[in-house]
Amino acid sequence: MVRTLNPVWAIVALAVGGFAIGTTEFTTMGVLPEVADGVDVSVPTAGHFISAYALGVVVGVPILSFFAAGLPRKALLLAFMGVYAVFNVMSAAVSSYGLLMLARFLDGLPHGAYFGVASLVASQLVSESSRGRAVAGVMMGLSIANVIGVPAATWFGQNAGWRAAYLACGVLALATVALIAVVVPHQPADQSATGRNEARSFFSSAQVWLTMAAGAVGFGGLFCVYSYIAKIVTNVGGLEKGAVPFFTLAFGLGMVVGTWVAGELSHWSVFKSLILGGVGAGLALVAFWLAAPHGWWLWPCTMLVTALGSVLVVNLQLRLMDVAGNAVTLGAAMNHSALNIANALGAYLGGVVIDAGHGYRSTALVGAILSVFGIAILLWSGLLHRRTALKPTFLGERV
């Protein structure tokens, strides 16, 4: 464990990076109609920008983690956030569909690698028994972004233009660089770690693939509805455009609650928490579908969907860090690759059912179906885990 005089402030600095990333990632959803108008495409087509960012995360994690395995972690964090700032500015500067697709893809590249390295750094700052809470602390920045950052950026984007929202996200990334430089302690590179060894250890594990698949499929349900929340609120719920930021706020509050609960539940059982979150999210998506035409009744359902879905994020992170074996850098980062596959899958399938004429409301039922498949994959993983008697996790449980 790396000791620092005040590990709390270091974790807060890492969480600010999560805040910057969360604000950037989810702002696109809040201003999707404005972005669509700005580059002259339909709203379902503009949903491809969400998928492009998510694809960038998926591609960036294995590539950056491969080359980052033996490098100093603080320097990596500074580099990742610096690059993130650059591509946010690029997103604000371009004017065509193709260039914005490229900018969103490039902006997604450092996303998962940042969270992976930040989680490792945070877990080394505290005692082993507090690792779950430290990782949850880093992820809390992503959650708080949806309470403060995304609603503010959505409002800002609606009133000052969507380009201004991306510029603001670039400023947040630069602020993170400054904070990390000041308060996060240096952690020496692991000279024995290599990208090739980590990749061999990580990808040879069946549990790794099942855990990633559970996240990629099960968490996709949340993004089925979140990607199109602006149109669901206005076209289905019958509310005014000004109500949209309140619903992005509901997502944010749900993420904060869910992330905190996940950190506490990790001391009970990582695996059982994943099952509980998956079942709850599926039921909440059905409730979302029922409430969608009833205006403000949709608000608590929105918060519930996100709270239960967010339980998956932290505990999938912990489970992957365990089953990855010696591949610590890849194990910490690949959770975000899986979750952004969920982002892309949810946005894509939501667009498919909308284009097929089933309406924006139908995205909730597609999300519920994805939750069922995610639970099935987790149960398969748990059964295999018991049969092969894998080593206990760092939290002391076997499943």
Residue 96 pLDDT greater than 70, yes or no: yes
CA dist., res. 332 & res. 335, Å (int): 7
Give the three-state DSSP class for 147. helix
Residue 45 pLDDT greater than 60, yes or no: yes
pLDDT confidence of 174, banded at 50, 70, 90?
Answer: very high
pLDDT tens, residue by residue, 345-388: 888 898 889 988 888 999 999 999 999 999 999 899 888 877 76
For the chain, which domains are there?
A: 7-388 (1.20.1250.20)
Q: Exposure string (b/e) for 259-269, b if CB count within 10 Å is 16 or more?
A: bbbbbebbeeb
CA dist., res. 331 & res. 336, Å (int): 10
Compute CA distances 125 → 234, 282, 317, whole Å: 45, 35, 17
CA dist., res. 119 & res. 136, Å (int): 9
Which residue type sits at 381?
Answer: S
212, 334 in Cβ contact below 8 A? yes
Quick check: pTM over 0.75? no
Greater model confidence, 399 or 362: 362
CA dist., res. 396 & res. 158, Å (int): 48
Could you tell me what percent of the chain has a pLDDT over 70?
89
Greater model confidence, 354 or 397: 354
CA dist., res. 53 & res. 105, Å (int): 4
pLDDT confidence of 103, banded at 50, 70, 90?
Answer: very high
